[in-house]
Amino acid sequence: MDFELKNLTRTLICSEKADALIMLVPEGLTAGDDALSLLAALAIKSGDLEVKPGKLLNAYRVPGIAATRVVLVGAGDASPKNIRTAVNAAMGDLKTSNAERAVLCLSALNALQSESVRAAVVACAEASYTYTTTKSKPVAAKLQQVLVAVDSLANAQAGFDKAIGLVKGIDLAKEWANRPANHATPVLLAGAAKELGKLPFIKTEVLGHKEIEKLGMGAFLAVAQGAAEPLRFIVLRYEGAAKAQAPVVLIGKGITFDTGGISIKPAAEMDEMKFDMCGAASVLGTFRALAELQPALNVVGLIPACENMPGDRAIKPGDVVTSMSGQTIEILNTDAEGRLVLCDALTYAARFKPRAVVDIATLTGACVVALGGVRSGLFSNNEALAESLSRAGESSLDLCWKMPLDDDYAEGLKTNFADVANVAGRAGGAVTAAKFLQRFAADFAWAHLDIAGTAWKSGLAKGATGRPVPLLIDYLLGQVLAAEPAKASSKARPARKSTPAAKTRA
């Protein structure tokens, strides 16, 4: 979809030709003497339009307005959250129409902020997203162009640019998460990472079985050994700052399909286990956004990618494997495989001497029970890191919730036959999974995001959400301000295009 940002008064908006004109109407609307303002004011006065977020009123061929169709939508107090609600409602209303070009009017919002523009553009893209990759006759979305109209570019440009980067990242994360497992194998996932390596400041390295075996990643290898599809360990580097600056490491769980292994899952809804690599997809999406936004920091992405299958060589309950850290693990349940691939990636992450490590995984059904699909579970051994991620979740509208890591939760992981078991009892399952991972993150600031409830939706809306790409990007951009002073990178940074009417395809 093409997005364009333009400085337009409401009078000029009325003259803009389009198939649809969407006006966000806030509480306390300041009405002008233009046709659009008069229409909104009259609709509110007559009671036909509520300014409650998401409430709609449609009008057709309004005198004095060039757009064919006008959609007035309530935006409440015009907070980013309410703007998202309003835009989602309006775009949902247009999705079944023949509109190809729309104007999104934000000019009525008082004291428009950068984050308001970001929320509007991201919501617009998300509401119009359609998956087509594996359809024989894909039907593209009819709406192809959106002009975002504001009354001040000074307040809007930064939010618009950030939104375009986010949209590219979220769309990539959705694309790979939505693909069926036979179209998103570990090898194909590595290919997507290599494509990212062609973008500014990004380098990609892919390790195969021999390299992984040489590293001693026994836990990762154990999960993959029952599958015919070869495993891959993907290393992404975004180098936007001086080499001396310690990187943030992101680790994405990349189980491209999870049958549960010998501890096989029930057949019902097992197709959704193609989403078990949403952590990996979010890392790919984050790097795509970084290439667009080009912040001055260093980021490493690690993706252990494999399938978990019940083949004749598959690990069995009771098997003991040796992780890259040297710790031995008794595998009591082969369906608790995510923590096995992540623990070796956590050990590998230490070589980068990171300022922080964040792993992202669709790890436990217990987290879904605890938090549903609203907030991701956040676990951390570092209060400052946890607070930074929580703030990023709030600012990006990609919420998380800090969960406990009391040592008492680790009691259930004790075993007579290894250093640690890979599961405890049913109680507190999301926490005990995090306690397992914490054993491998003792040497650095670490956080774990359990996105099992937030990475995808089931039912009629089945599909990936692209979360937590927005949270990760806000966290990383926050680290630019917090970075220790370092010499400027010797690399020449390509010039960013920024014009009074910026036009970008996302």
More reliable by pLDDT, 294 or 154: 294
Residue whose C-alpha is closest to residue 277's, from 77, 456, 448, 139? 456
Residue 497 annotated in active site? no
9-18 confidence digits (pLDDT tens): 999 999 999 9
What average pLDDT does this structure show over 440-459? 97
- Buried b / exposed e over 401-422, threshold 16 CB at 10 Å, is ebbebeeebbebbebeebbbbb
42-97 confidence digits (pLDDT tens): 999 999 999 999 999 999 999 999 999 999 999 999 999 999 999 999 999 998 89
Q: What is the mean pLDDT of the chain?
A: 94
- Could you give the 3-state DSSP secondary structure of residue 244? coil
* Residues 176, 109: Cα–Cα separation, whole Å: 36
- Could you give the 3-state DSSP secondary structure of residue 179? coil
* Domains, the chain, with CATH or none: 2-151 (3.40.220.10), 173-482 (3.40.630.10)
312-370 confidence digits (pLDDT tens): 999 999 999 999 999 999 999 999 999 999 999 999 999 999 999 999 999 999 999 99
- pTM assigned to the model: 0.94
Q: What are phi and psi of 12, to 5 degrees?
A: -70, -30
- State the catalytic residue, choosing from 339, 355, 439, 467: 339
- Tokens 């189980």 correspond to what residue? 255
Cα dihedral 43, 46, 51, 55, rounded to 10, equals -70
Residue 493 annotated in active site? no
More reliable by pLDDT, 201 or 32: 201
What average pLDDT does this structure show over 189-193? 98
pLDDT of residue 500: 42
User: What does 103-136 look like in DSSP terms, one character per residue?
Assistant: EEE-TTSTT--HHHHHHHHHHHHHHH----TT-S
Pair type for strands 376-380 and 446-450: antiparallel
Residue 489 pLDDT > 80, yes or no? no
Cα dihedral 420, 379, 303, 164, rounded to 10, equals 170
- State the catalytic residue, choosing from 55, 81, 142, 265: 265
- pLDDT class of 481 with cuts at 50, 70, 90: confident
pLDDT of residue 506: 62
- Tokens 């579970």 correspond to what residue? 377
pLDDT of residue 32: 83
Percentage above 70 pLDDT, the chain: 95
DSSP-assigned beta bridge partners for residue 101: 145
> Which tokens sit at 50?
């509520």
Count how many Cα atoms sit within 13 Å of the Cα of residue 95 in the half-sphere of its side chain.
15
